[in-house]
Amino acid sequence: MDGADEFMKYRSPLVSRYASKEMAYNFSDRKKFTTWRKLWIYLAKAEKSLGLPITEAQIKEMESHQKDIDFAMAAEEERKLRHDVMAHVHTFAHCCPTAAPIIHLGATSCYVGDNTDLIVLRDGFDILLPKLARVIDRLANFAETYADLPTLGFTHYQPAQLTTVGKRVCLWLQDLTMDIRNLQRARDDLRFRGVKGTTGTQASFLQLFQGDHDKVEELDRLVTEMASFQKSYLVTGQTYSRKVDVDCLSSLASLGATVHKICTDIRLLANLKEIEEPFEKDQIGSSAMPYKRNPMRSERCCSLARHLVALIADPLQTASVQWLERTLDDSANRRISLAESFLTADIILSTLQNISEGLVVYPKVIERHIRQELPFMATENIIMAVVKAGGNRQDCHEKIRVLSQEAAAVVKQEGGDNDLLARVQKDPYFAPILGQLDAILEPKTFIGRAPQQVARFLSEEVRPLLEPYRSKMDVKIELEL
Query: Domain coordinates of the chain in residue numbers?
Result: 21-95, 365-445
Q: How many CB atoms lie within 10 A of CB 343?
A: 24
Long-range (24+ apart) CB contacts under 8 A made by 6-15 are 12/340, 14/340, 14/343, 14/344, 14/347, 15/343
Residue 279's pLDDT is 67
Buried b (16+ CB within 10 A) or exposed e, 248-276: bbbbbbbbbebbbebbbbbbebbeeebbb
Buried b (16+ CB within 10 A) or exposed e, 403-415: bbeebeeebeeee
| Distance between CA atoms of residues 307 and 290, nearest Å | 31
Residues forming beta bridges with residue 480, ordered by sequence position: none
Cα 430 to chain centroid, rounded: 54
365-445 has which fold? Ribonucleotide Reductase Protein R1; domain 1 (1.10.40)
Instruction: Decide: 389 and 433 in contact? Cβ < 8 Å.
Output: yes
Residue 280's pLDDT is 59
Per-residue pLDDT tens digits of the chain, which is 481 residues long: 556 677 888 889 899 888 899 999 999 999 999 999 999 999 999 999 999 999 999 999 999 999 999 999 999 999 999 899 999 999 999 999 999 999 999 999 999 999 999 999 999 999 999 999 999 999 999 999 999 999 999 999 998 899 999 999 999 999 999 999 999 999 999 999 999 999 999 999 999 999 999 999 999 999 999 999 999 999 999 999 999 999 999 999 999 999 999 999 999 999 999 999 986 554 444 444 444 578 999 999 999 999 999 999 999 999 999 999 999 999 999 999 999 999 999 999 999 999 999 999 999 999 999 988 888 888 888 888 999 999 999 999 998 899 989 988 988 899 888 888 899 899 999 888 888 888 888 999 999 999 999 999 999 999 999 999 999 998 877 665 5
Residue 23's pLDDT is 96
Instruction: Decide: 292 and 285 in contact? Cβ < 8 Å.
Output: yes
Q: Which of 286, 320, 331, 459 is catalytic?
A: 286
Active site residue 286: yes
Instruction: Decide: 304 and 255 in contact? Cβ < 8 Å.
Output: no
Tell me which residue of 199, 222, 197 sits closest to 207, measured CA to CA.
Answer: 197
| Distance between CA atoms of residues 326 and 188, nearest Å | 25
Residue 4's pLDDT is 67
Q: Which CATH superfamily is domain 21-95 in?
A: Fumarase/aspartase (N-terminal domain) (1.10.275.10)
Residues forming beta bridges with residue 153, ordered by sequence position: 160
| Distance between CA atoms of residues 356 and 141, nearest Å | 10
Residue 381's pLDDT is 87
Sign of CA dihedral 279, 281, 287, 292: positive
Tell me which residue of 178, 57, 184, 41 sits closest to 115, measured CA to CA.
Answer: 41
| Distance between CA atoms of residues 65 and 225, nearest Å | 22
| Distance between CA atoms of residues 195 and 221, nearest Å | 9
